[in-house]
Chains A and B, each alone.
Chain A
Amino acid sequence: MSPPILSVSAVTKTYKTGFTALLAVDLEIARGEIFALLGPNGAGKTTLISIICGTVTMTSGQVLVDGHDTQSAYRAARSMIGLVPQEIALDIFATVWNTVSFSRGLFGKPPNPAYIESLLRDLSLWDKRDSRVIELSGGMKRRVMIAKALSHEPDLLFLDEPTAGVDVALRRDMWALVRRLRDQGVTMILTTHYIEEAEEMADRVGVIDGGRLLLVEGTAQLMRKLGKRRLTLALQQPLAAIPPELADWPVELAADGQELVYSFDANAEDTGIPALLRLLCENGIDFKDLDTSRTSLEDIFVRLVERAA
């Protein structure tokens, strides 16, 4: 195991107003992984990212980027990090080429026009390289934000709500880019409200709420551990109540008694489905259709946050 590229220990942030945005957060990110940070608005996602990137000062704790302390060795730490913030913030009078080159210089890298060119081509910005930012559409501006964050070839990329308010084409491009960067070995930490994206893209998921990291788990393990499956049977005849024969089963009625829903553990050896179907047959409950579904990360997330509240 190589050492983690990011190690956050006991990071706490209390703002001057007395509001505690983060409480003793611990987190380790392995090199090359994609980590999704989920949480409702105001949970502390952006504060955590801002502390790691150095735009917010932590009250206590320590952050190491590839072993470099973000306070005592901030140069080494920060030169490895790229940040795409939630809000678009650009010098609107600068040209695309200039603002992206500016970012590269700012992060201490010598000019590399060939790299900037390939970056702009990758992000479909090459045709716009001489346009001023003010002339670009919102989606193009967001691409510029990403180009700036990647301009110095960071090892660790933060994407704060990268797909919020983004059209379908750009979102698809964005995820293609994330995959490409992953192939190049870039570690990515993203926050998103689109839970299905985290489920699909992230290797691991962290759920944060009220400044506490409630859970960090591999996406697949999390799905298996907390995932429930459901069998929905569309009945021939609606039922008014659960028949006494089924009283011991975790079933409930839905759609005014038209449907019978059976929840079961997604990992269990024995799903219980054959036994249930036999029982229904014996009791003369006929069904015309059946469907199974798996709980999404969204359901898990909602349950966790509710439990914490």
Chain B
Amino acid sequence: MSAPSLNVHGIWAIYRAEMARMMRTMLQSVATPVITTALYFVVFGGAIGSRIQSVDGVDYGAFIVPGLIMLSLLTQSISNASIGIYFPKFTKTIFEILSAPLSFGEAVIAYVGAAATKSILLALIILATATAFVPVHIQHPVWMVAFLVLTAITFSLFGFIVGIWAENFEQLAIIPSLVVTPLTFLGGAFYSIEMLPQPWRTISLLNPVVYLVSGFRWSFYGSGDVGVAASLGFTALFMAACLAVLWWIFRTGYRLKP
């Protein structure tokens, strides 16, 4: 009897267990971003936005929708994937994954796939919430979905790396809160970087999140801070970097196998 070349049952088992774990906290994980998004709309869209002229010809309330979705997508992808792999390390149940006839790639597909699925679902829920507050118009729906999926997968890969690297809950929380949230806020979620004075406008171009928000906003309203090719190129580059790091983790057994 030869073993199958792809452990489909194994991938499915992890994917299902991960989705079940997320569903257990569904109320918290759906209610939190929906309420947060609603608050953003009240504050930025209603209170402040009423005094702001439209940005790039788009009503301010509608302008911030893509950025808000990106904000949740990034943080949720990272936290879902990082907790997904960190938790088995913490409870020592990781031994079972490591001793299973499952390749490292298959484990990544299962964990990252589940994390990305959940954050995409969440992004769609936030989008639906947004339409209750502002008129949202999507010019390029296919590209919108493509950016959504690509970003979710890329940052779930990044979160997976964070989860492997983290040795305690503090380290687990540090990347999303200290790195990703600031970068997202400064990445043009709430403004067009054209509104920034120099040299901040140029400096902002070093912020990777600018490219993600810009590309995503382009898919909604047909214009962004940077070209759509640059957005796609950057996302692909970051995904390649994450895959390279994961390959290195797999080769060395870093923080997984003594």
Contact = CB atoms under 8 A, between A and B. Distances in A.
A87 B92 CA distance: 9
Given A92-B91, A98-B17, A105 B99 contact: no
B96 to A, nearest CB: 6
Contact of A107 (B17, B20, B100, B253): B100
Given A75-B101, A87-B92, A148-B96, A109 B9 contact: yes
A105 B92 contact: no
Contacts of B91: 89-92
B199 interface: no
Interface in B70-113: 88, 91-93, 95-103
Interface residues of B, number: 32
- Where chain A touches its partner, the secondary structure class is loop
A76 to B, nearest CB: 4
Given A75-B3, A75-B7, A106-B13, A89 B100 contact: no
A56 B24 CA distance: 32
Contacts of B12: 105
B3 to A, nearest CB: 4
Contacts of B120: none
Contacts of A98: 17, 20
Contacts of B257: 55-57
A194 interface: no
A56 B258 contact: yes
B68 interface: no
B14 to A, nearest CB: 7
A106 B3 contact: no
B2 interface: yes
Contacts, number: 93
B99 A57 contact: no
Contacts of A101: 13
A35 B97 CA distance: 25
Contacts of A75: 3-5, 7, 101, 103
Q: How large is the interface on A (under 10, 10 to 19, 20 to 34, 35 or more residues)?
A: 35 or more
Contact of B95 (A55, A73, A92): A55
A5 interface: no
Contacts of A83: 95-96, 99
Contact of A78 (B5, B95, B100): B100
A273 to B, nearest CB: 53
A102 B14 CA distance: 7
B10 interface: yes
Contacts of A89: 91-93, 95-96
Nearest to A76: B3
B61 to A, nearest CB: 40
A54 B21 CA distance: 26
Interface in B1-48: 2-5, 7-10, 12-14, 16-17, 20-21, 24
B258 A16 contact: yes
A65 to B, nearest CB: 11
> Interface SS of chain B: helix, strand, loop or mixed?
helix
Nearest to B253: A57
B7 A54 contact: no
B180 to A, nearest CB: 27
B29 to A, nearest CB: 15
Contact of A55 (B4, B17, B99, B102): B99
B95 A76 contact: no
A85 interface: yes
Give the residue among B10, B12, B20, B96 with the most A Cβ atoms within 10 A: B96
A6 interface: no
Nearest to A77: B101
Interface in A97-118: 98, 101-110
A15 B258 contact: yes
A53 interface: yes
A15 B21 CA distance: 34
A87 B21 CA distance: 23
Interface string A53-81: 11111000000000000000111111101
Given A94-B17, A105-B13, A76 B2 contact: yes
A249 interface: no
25 contacts: A53-B99, A57-B253, A75-B7, A78-B101, A79-B3, A83-B96, A85-B95, A89-B93, A91-B17, A91-B91, A94-B17, A102-B16, A103-B96, A104-B9, A104-B13, A105-B12, A105-B13, A105-B16, A106-B13, A106-B14, A106-B96, A106-B100, A108-B7, A108-B100, A148-B96
Instruction: Please provide the 7 A-B residue pairs with the shortest distance between their CB atoms, ordered closest to farther.
Output: A105-B13, A89-B92, A75-B3, A78-B101, A75-B101, A79-B101, A76-B3
Interface of B: 2-5, 7-10, 12-14, 16-17, 20-21, 24, 88, 91-93, 95-103, 253, 257-258
Interface of A: 15-16, 53-57, 73-79, 81, 83, 85, 87, 89-94, 98, 101-110, 148
